[in-house]
Amino acid sequence: MGLTCQITTLPKWKKEFFRKFLVPPLLGKKGIYEYEGTRANRKGEEMIETIDFQLNGKPVRLTVDGERQLLWVLRTDLALTGTKYGCGKALCGACTVLVNRKAVRSCQIPVKEVKGQKILTIEGLAPNGVLHPLQKAFMEHNALQCGFCTPGMIMNALSLLAENSQPTEKDILDGMNDNLCRCGAHLRIVRAIQQAAKEMGGRRT
């Protein structure tokens, strides 16, 4: 069974929360999400459309402003909060998800651009409660401290291993260079990815 979600109005408490704490999604008078710089925002139009895609192996249908960033659709509309909001400018990697097995920054992608695509978030790595080799390796190597960047790190690493199943240390450093860990766990992250690569044995997912 697919998941259907229609975005129209929001409860008053949620509107206030967005206004105070989450600047990127700007709420219009009708509670429709509007984004600074989009055509919908400039003209005061509501660019509502129906968008279908596959999310963590399940079909999803949304009726939503197509210009709305994928990050906020995942976190707010679909309650998948593993994907984090870090910088909002595609510079830190905290919001990384996979679209057709490739790492993308969900804070920069309008949801209309994933129409018909396959999206994988950190929640989709252990659908039956069995941890993915990358998740286990990150735990075993203590490749995190606060954990905020970890979902994006793991998703980016998964994309890296899908393209290069036997990466060298330099390959890993180059591939993970744009994912930032403010706690400084980078060396442990590299070791975790090396271990996961061995355990996965060439698997792409």
Which tens digits make up the pLDDT trace of 44-63?
A: 556 899 999 999 999 999 99
pLDDT (0 to 100) of residue 202: 78
Lookup: tokens for 58: 């399940």
pLDDT (0 to 100) of residue 158: 97
Kindly list the structural domains of the chain, giving each domain's residue range(s) and its CATH number in brackets, ordered by start.
3-125 (3.10.20.30), 133-200 (1.10.150.120)
pLDDT (0 to 100) of residue 7: 42
pLDDT (0 to 100) of residue 31: 39
Burial grade of 56 (CB within 10 A; 0-12, 13-18, 19 or more): middle
pLDDT (0 to 100) of residue 24: 41
pLDDT (0 to 100) of residue 21: 45
> Which segments in the chain show pLDDT lower than 50?
1, 4-9, 15, 17-43
* Residue 64 vs residues 85, 134, 174: alpha-carbon distances, Å: 20, 33, 36
Task: Give the SS3 label for residue 61.
Answer: strand
The H-assigned helical ranges of the chain are 12-21, 39-43, 70-72, 133-140, 150-163, 169-175, 186-200
Rg (CA), the chain: 18
